[in-house]
C-alpha cells in the first residue's frame, strides 16, 4: 500500500496545531474524559453569554442528546462580533462571480452590517425566534448574510440548493413549515441563468403559509411580482439600521434544518442545534484544515449542502478566517477555472469533492499545469470515497506533490467531520479517511451487530454522542430513531460500510445498501470502481449488483470514458482482465455499459440505487428521483441497458 509519511518535506506543517506528538494524547483524553475535554474546548473556541450547567446528557435509545445544557450563546456573535476589535478590516468573504473578472471583498465590519440589516428586514417581516425561513439562493454573499441573519435573531434556516426544481422546493418548504422565503431574481451558473424567483412562484402556489418572499436583485432579470407578498431586499435594507443585537440562544435551540442529498432515498430534514454544532464546526475547521491566521480558504461546495454550512460559513467565520465563495462551476468557462481562481486570490487551502476531481481529471492535465498554484498548502476532499487514482492526480498534478490531502468523512447528520487525517499528524493513504476526530469513537459491526475487532470490514457505527450530532429529523423524530439508532441498538448507524486496516485506519467502502454479494463474497462498490478508474481509459465508474443465476449477484459496471477514448470490445476485455489483476476474478464485471454521464445527486454523488434498478430491469420502481441533477441521464441509460 502506498503511504505518504507525515510530509516530512513540508516545512509548514511542522508547526501545525495537531502534530504526531499531541494527536494521541489529545485523542485519548477526549475519549477517557469527554466531559472535561469538551468543556475545555467549548471555553477555548467559543464565546458564551453564560455558561452551561452540564456538558452532556441523554441517550441514543430516546434520541434525546443535549450538549452544554443551559449554556447561552449566539452563533453570529461568535462568527462576527467577537472578531471586530481586531479584524474589522480583515476580509471575511471573498466572492468570485460566475463570470471571470468579477469579485468582491467583504470585510468583517461589512459582514456585520449586512447581516444586521438582513436581520432587521426579517424582523420587520414578523420573523421571530424559532420561525423557519427558507433560503433558496445562488452562491452570492447574500446567501451567507441570510443564513447569519436568521442565526442573529434565532430563526431556523432551511437552505434549499438553488439547483432544485419548484417541486423539490415546495416539498421542503412544506416539510419545514417555512413562513418566509429568501431568494434572488435569477441565479447565474456556468454562464446560464437559473430562474429562482420563477421557481419560487411555482412552488408557492402550494404553500399557503408563506407570507413573505424577500428577493435579492442578482441579475435584473424579468420576473413576476405578487404585491403584498414579494419584497425587494435592497429597498427594505436601505431603510433599516445596520446594527441588531444578537438574540440570546440556548445551546440546544435549533440553528438549522437541512435536507440530506437523497442518495439513498427520500431526503431527511436533519435538525442541528446551536452550541454543540458550532463548537465542532469551529474546532474541526481549525485543526483539520490547520487554518493559520491570514490564510485564504476555499471550499467549492454550495451553501445548499452541509459542507457549505459547516465549512464555507460557520466553521471558517467562527475562526475569523477568510472564506472564498464561488458562484460558478469548476468547468466554466474552461476546466482551468479552479486553478485560475486559486492564483487570482492566492488560495492556501482548497476543499472539493471527488466528483469535481474526476471531472477535471477526465479533461487532461494541461488545464492544471498552465497555472501556478504555488499558494496552495493543503487540499481536502469530501462527499464520496475518493478513488486512489483520483487521489494521486489531486496530490501530484494539482498539489505538485507538496500539499497533504485531508480525505474528510462525515454526513449531514454528523454536522462536522468525524474521520479525517490531520495534515501535521497523519500518515496519508490514498483512499483512506484514516483516523477519528477528537471525541469520536467509530466502530465496525457485522450484520448481527457484533463488534468487529482489529483489522476487518463491517458496518460503520459511532459509539457515543458527539456535540454536532443530529438532534432530530424535523417533524418526524421516529424516523431519526428508525434510521440511525434502531439497526444496531446502542450505536449510531452511518449507513456506510468500512474497512479498518492493520494501522487502525478507516477506508469507506460505500453504502451498505450497495454492497455486492458475488458467489457469497461481499465487496464494497468503492473497491471495484477504484480498480476500474485506475485504467487510463476510464474517467468514472459505478458498479451495482443484479440477479445472476449462478453467482447470486453479477456485477454490472457503468463506465464513463476519458474525453478522448472510444470504447471497443478489445478495451472491454482489457478492463475485465485489469480488474481481475487488481482485485481478483470474483470482482470481474459481467456487464459493461459505456455512458458519457452517470446519474448523480445535485450534490454530485453517484446514485447507485437508480443504477441498481436499471441493472435489474426495474424501470417502473426507480424511487425518489427528484434529487437527480439531470433526469435525462437516467432515460438514456434505460434505453441503452446492456444484457
Contact residues toward Mg ion (CB under 5 A) are 260
Comparing CB distances to ligand ATP, the nearer of 323 and 525 is 525
Question: Is 305 one of the annotated binding-site residues?
Answer: no
CB of 426 to ligand ATP, least distance (A): 14
As a whole number of angstroms, the distance between CA 431 and CA 420 comes to 11
Residue 380 and residue 287 in contact, taking contact as beta carbons nearer than 8 Å? no
The CA-based angle 240-238-151, given to 5 degrees, is 50
Comparing CB distances to ligand ATP, the nearer of 111 and 379 is 379
- Pick from 131, 252, 496, 505 the residue near ligand ATP by CB under 6 A: 496
Question: Is 177 one of the annotated binding-site residues?
Answer: no
Residues in 288-347 that interact with ligand ATP by CB under 6 A: 305-306
Those residues whose C-beta lies under 8 Å from the C-beta of residue 619, and which sit 6 or more positions away, are: 613, 638
As a whole number of angstroms, the distance between CA 636 and CA 643 comes to 15
Name the one range near ligand ATP by CB under 6 A: 176-184, 188-196, 488-496, 581-589: 488-496
Strand partners, 545: 555
Which does residue 280 bind out of ligand ATP, Mg ion, none, counting CB within 5 to 8 angstroms by kind?
none
Those residues whose C-beta lies under 8 Å from the C-beta of residue 29, and which sit 6 or more positions away, are: 36, 37
CB of 511 to ligand ATP, least distance (A): 6
Which one, of 68, 75, 43, lies nearest residue 248 by Cα? Answer: 75
As a whole number of angstroms, the distance between CA 45 and CA 369 comes to 39
R_g of the chain, CA atoms, integer Å: 24
- Pick from 262, 524, 545, 599 the residue near ligand ATP by CB under 6 A: 262
Which one, of 151, 208, 157, 209, lies nearest residue 183 by Cα? Answer: 157
Name the one range near ligand ATP by CB under 6 A: 43-51, 66-74, 131-139, 494-502: 494-502
Comparing CB distances to ligand ATP, the nearer of 200 and 530 is 530
CB of 37 to ligand ATP, least distance (A): 24
Secondary element (H or E) of residue 298: strand 296-299
Q: Is 418 in the site for ligand ATP (CB under 6 A)?
A: no
Find where cell 486553478 sits.
339
Environment class of residue 202 by beta-carbon count within 10 Å: exposed (0-12), middle (13-18) or buried (19+)? middle
Question: Is 200 one of the annotated binding-site residues?
Answer: no
Question: Is 522 one of the annotated binding-site residues?
Answer: yes
Find where cell 492544471 sits.
368
> Strand (E) positions, 320-439?
322-326, 349-352, 378-381, 405-407
CB of 85 to ligand ATP, least distance (A): 37
Q: Report which DSSP code applies to 248.
A: P
CB of 441 to ligand ATP, least distance (A): 17
Q: What are the cell numbers at 571?
A: 478495451
Those residues whose C-beta lies under 8 Å from the C-beta of residue 339, and which sit 6 or more positions away, are: 367, 368, 371, 373, 398
- Pick from 162, 330, 383, 415 the residue near ligand ATP by CB under 6 A: 383
CB of 23 to ligand ATP, least distance (A): 19
Pairing of strands 212-216, 378-381: unpaired
CB of 277 to ligand ATP, least distance (A): 14
Question: Is 384 one of the annotated binding-site residues?
Answer: yes
Name the one range near ligand ATP by CB under 6 A: 173-181, 231-239, 377-385, 579-587: 377-385
Q: How many CB atoms lie within 10 A of CB 206?
A: 13
Q: Is 385 in the site for ligand ATP (CB under 6 A)?
A: yes
Residue 368 and residue 336 in contact, taking contact as beta carbons nearer than 8 Å? yes
Q: What are the cell numbers at 214?
A: 424577500
Comparing CB distances to ligand ATP, the nearer of 179 and 260 is 260
Q: Is 472 in the site for ligand ATP (CB under 6 A)?
A: no
Question: Is 91 one of the annotated binding-site residues?
Answer: no
Comparing CB distances to Mg ion, the nearer of 260 and 284 is 260
The CA-based angle 630-635-640, given to 5 degrees, is 130
CB of 114 to ligand ATP, least distance (A): 28
Report the Cα–Cα distance between both ends of the chain, in Å, rounded.
36
Q: What are the cell numbers at 371?
A: 497555472
Site string for ligand ATP, 510-539 (x = CB under 6 A): -x----------------------------
Site string for ligand ATP, 337-376 (x = CB under 6 A): ----------------------------------------
Q: How many helices (H) and strands (E) does the chain have?
A: 21, 31
- Pick from 340, 407, 505, 514 the residue near ligand ATP by CB under 6 A: 407
Name the one range near ligand ATP by CB under 6 A: 94-102, 132-140, 209-217, 262-270: 262-270
Which does residue 433 bind out of ligand ATP, Mg ion, none, counting CB within 5 to 8 angstroms by kind?
ligand ATP
As a whole number of angstroms, the distance between CA 598 and CA 602 comes to 12
Alpha carbon dihedral 178, 184, 190, 194, in 10-degree steps, equals 70
Question: Is 407 one of the annotated binding-site residues?
Answer: yes
Q: Is 408 in the site for ligand ATP (CB under 6 A)?
A: yes
Name the one range near ligand ATP by CB under 6 A: 237-245, 366-374, 383-391, 474-482: 383-391
Question: Is 71 one of the annotated binding-site residues?
Answer: no
Question: Is 327 one of the annotated binding-site residues?
Answer: no
Rounded to the nearest angstrom, the gap between the alpha carbon of residue 86 and the centroid of all alpha carbons in its chain is 31
Question: Is 307 one of the annotated binding-site residues?
Answer: yes
Feature table: binding site for Mg(2+): 533, 535, 538
Feature table: binding site: 189-192, 307, 383-385, 407-412, 496, 511, 519, 522, 533, 535, 538
- Residues at the contact surface with ligand ATP, assessed by CB under 6 A: 260-265, 267, 305-306, 382-385, 407-412, 433, 494-496, 508, 511, 603, 605
Feature table: binding site for CoA: 189-192, 307, 519
Amino acid at each position: 500500500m502506498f503511504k505518504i509519511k507525515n510530509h516530512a518535506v513540508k516545512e509548514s506543517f511542522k508547526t501545525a496545531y495537531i502534530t504526531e506528538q499531541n494527536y494521541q494524547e489529545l485523542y485519548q483524553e477526549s475519549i477517557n474524559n469527554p466531559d472535561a475535554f469538551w468543556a475545555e474546548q467549548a471555553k477555548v473556541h467559543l464565546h458564551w453569554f453564560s455558561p452551561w450547567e452540564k456538558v452532556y446528557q441523554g441517550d441514543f435509545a430516546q434520541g434525546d442528546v443535549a450538549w452544554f445544557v443551559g449554556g447561552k450563546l449566539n452563533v453570529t456573535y461568535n462568527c462576527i462580533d467577537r472578531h471586530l476589535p481586531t479584524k474589522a478590516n480583515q476580509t471575511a468573504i471573498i466572492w468570485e462571480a460566475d463570470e471571470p473578472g468579477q469579485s468582491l471583498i467583504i470585510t468583517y465590519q461589512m459582514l456585520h452590517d449586512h447581516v444586521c440589516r438582513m436581520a432587521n428586514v426579517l424582523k420587520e417581516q414578523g420573523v421571530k425566534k424559532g420561525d423557519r425561513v427558507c433560503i433558496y439562493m445562488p452562491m452570492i454573499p447574500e446567501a451567507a448574510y441570510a443564513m447569519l441573519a436568521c442565526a442573529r435573531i434565532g430563526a431556523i434556516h432551511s437552505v434549499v440548493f438553488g439547483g432544485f426544481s419548484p417541486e423539490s422546493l415546495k416539498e421542503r418548504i412544506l416539510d419545514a413549515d417555512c413562513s418566509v422565503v429568501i431568494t434572488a431574481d435569477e441565479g447565474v451558473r456556468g454562464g446560464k441563468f437559473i430562474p429562482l424567483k420563477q421557481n419560487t412562484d411555482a412552488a408557492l402556489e402550494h404553500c399557503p403559509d408563506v407570507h413573505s418572499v424577500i428577493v435579492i436583485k442578482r441579475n435584473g432579470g424579468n420576473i413576476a411580482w405578487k404585491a403584498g407578498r414579494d419584497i425587494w431586499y435592497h429597498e427594505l435594507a436601505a431603510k433599516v439600521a445596520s446594527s441588531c443585537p444578537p438574540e440570546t440562544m440556548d445551546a440546544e435551540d435549533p440553528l438549522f434544518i437541512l435536507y440530506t442529498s437523497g442518495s439513498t432515498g427520500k431526503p431527511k430534514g436533519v435538525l442541528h442545534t446551536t452550541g454543540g454544532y458550532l463548537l465542532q464546526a469551529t474546532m474541526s475547521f481549525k485543526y483539520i484544515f490547520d487554518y493559520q491566521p491570514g490564510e485564504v480558504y476555499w471550499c467549492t461546495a454550495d451553501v445548499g449542502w452541509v459542507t457549505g454550512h459547516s465549512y464555507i460559513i460557520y466553521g471558517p467565520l467562527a475562526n475569523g478566517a477568510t472564506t472564498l465563495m464561488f458562484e460558478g462551476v469548476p468547468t466554466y468557462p474552461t476546466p482551468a477555472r479552479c486553478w485560475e481562481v486559486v492564483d487570482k486570490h492566492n488560495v492556501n487551502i482548497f476543499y472539493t469533492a471527488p466528483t469535481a476531481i474526476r471531472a477535471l481529471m477526465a479533461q487532461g492535465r494541461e488545464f492544471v499545469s498552465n497555472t501556478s498554484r504555488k499558494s496552495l498548502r493543503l487540499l481536502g476532499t469530501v462527499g464520496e470515497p475518493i478513488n486512489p487514482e483520483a487521489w494521486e492526480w489531486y496530490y501530484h498534478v494539482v498539489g505538485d506533490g507538496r500539499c497533504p490531502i485531508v480525505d474528510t468523512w462525515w454526513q449531514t447528520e454528523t454536522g462536522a467531520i468525524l474521520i479525517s487525517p490531520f495534515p501535521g499528524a497523519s500518515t496519508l493513504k490514498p483512499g483512506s479517511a484514516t483516523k477519528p476526530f477528537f471525541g469520536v469513537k467509530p466502530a465496525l459491526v457485522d450484520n448481527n451487530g457484533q463488534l468487529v475487532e482489529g483489522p476487518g470490514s463491517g458496518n460503520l457505527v459511532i459509539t457515543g454522542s458527539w456535540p454536532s450530532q443530529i438532534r432530530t429529523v424535523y417533524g418526524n423524530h421516529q424516523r431519526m430513531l428508525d434510521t440511525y439508532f434502531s439497526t444496531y441498538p446502542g450505536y449510531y448507524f452511518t449507513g456506510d460500510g468500512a474497512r479498518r486496516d492493520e494501522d487502525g485506519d478507516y477506508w469507506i467502502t460505500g453504502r451498505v445498501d450497495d454492497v455486492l454479494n458475488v458467489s457469497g463474497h461481499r465487496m464494497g462498490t468503492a473497491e471495484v470502481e477504484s480498480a476500474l478508474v485506475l485504467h487510463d481509459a476510464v474517467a468514472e465508474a459505478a458498479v451495482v449488483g443484479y440477479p445472476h443465476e449462478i453467482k447470486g449477484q453479477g456485477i454490472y459496471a457503468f463506465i464513463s470514458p476519458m474525453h478522448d477514448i472510444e470504447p471497443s470490445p478489445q478495451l472491454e476485455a482489457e478492463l475485465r482482465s485489469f480488474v481481475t489483476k487488481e482485485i481478483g476474478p470474483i470482482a470481474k464485471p459481467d456487464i459493461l455499459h459505456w455512458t458519457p454521464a452517470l446519474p448523480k445527486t445535485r450534490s454530485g454523488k453517484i446514485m447507485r440505487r437508480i443504477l441498481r434498478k436499471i441493472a435489474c430491469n426495474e424501470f417502473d420502481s426507480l424511487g425518489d428521483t427528484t434529487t437527480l441533477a439531470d433526469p435525462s441521464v437516467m432515460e438514456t441509460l434505460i434505453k441503452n441497458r446492456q444484457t
